[in-house]
Amino acid sequence: MGDKTALIVVDVQNDFLPPSGSLAVPGGREVIPVIQKLLKRDWDVVVASQDYHPPDHISFASNHPGGEVFSQVQKMDAYGNTYTQTLWPDHCVVGTDGVEIDAELRPELERLGDSCVLVRKGWHPGVEAYSAFAGYVTPSGSPSDPPPALPAADSSELASFLRARGVDRVVVVGLAGDYCVSATAVSAAEHGFKTAVLLSGTRSISDEKASECWENLREKGGETIENEGALEGWLR
């Protein structure tokens, strides 16, 4: 890998934003000005991820008769893995307004042209996917439909994409810290990227759970950075 840095903006989508998102993260809108400021920097690559669910997604409580939102059930995914699934309200469904990236951020991402790509995750009805490293990469200006078949369980299109562009460091921001942001950051570290989460650019559903996630990230070799001033030192 070369000496390049990517900014990964995780799931700043309408359904995760107050006041009307179906799975709104408390204080979620507070990340938007931080991310807008970050996008003015000269990143080598910018990645914006989207939860991108079909209506029959395995994570939706509405697809489990008798299942209550935020309860947990044992499921087998399309790869044959048995795991504990948290049941969520329907969110980020393809074709709805909730799946769209926030309207304040979209123009900032679009002006980056080819240096910005989308990663869409959770697109298969039978697979939960919190990490952007489990999604498919597509141009931000002309996004493609999901692939016709699941990729290999141990593959990562995003990791391959970043390596091909010489990226060796990633900074992760977005929503929610205790789910998709931390999962993305842990994946990045596990794939060998020097990884940092900018805490001022993320908000979580549960701060207690987020603290556990950040400790896990540090155990994997990643870092957390409090604010943009500290980020300057990390990027040098």
The full set of domain ranges for the chain reads 5-51+90-235
What gap in Å lies between CA 57 and CA 47, rounded to an integer? 24
Rounded CA gap, 133 and 204, in Å? 20
CATH assignment, 5-51+90-235: 3.40.50.850
Confidence band of 3 (pLDDT split at 50, 70, 90)? confident
pLDDT at 219: 98
pTM listed for this prediction: 0.97
Residue 118's SS3 state is: strand
Contact between 4 and 170 (Cβ < 8 Å): no
Give pLDDT tens digits for 62-82.
Answer: 999 999 999 999 999 999 999
Active site amino acids: 11, 121, 180
For the cut 90, the answer to whether the pLDDT of residue 187 exceeds it is yes
β-pair type (194-203, 223-225): parallel
Return the minimum-mean-pLDDT range out of 43-47, 157-161, 178-182, 232-236: 232-236
pLDDT exceeding 70 applies to what percent of the chain?
A: 99
Percent of the chain with pLDDT over 90: 97
Give residue 1's pLDDT band: very low, low, confident or very high (50, 70, 90): very low
The residues near 140 (Cβ < 8 Å, ≥ 6 apart) are 48, 109, 110, 112, 116, 117, 118
- pLDDT tens for each residue of 95-151: 999 999 999 999 999 999 999 999 999 999 999 999 999 999 999 999 999 999 999
From CA 176, how far away is CA 182, in angstroms rounded? 8
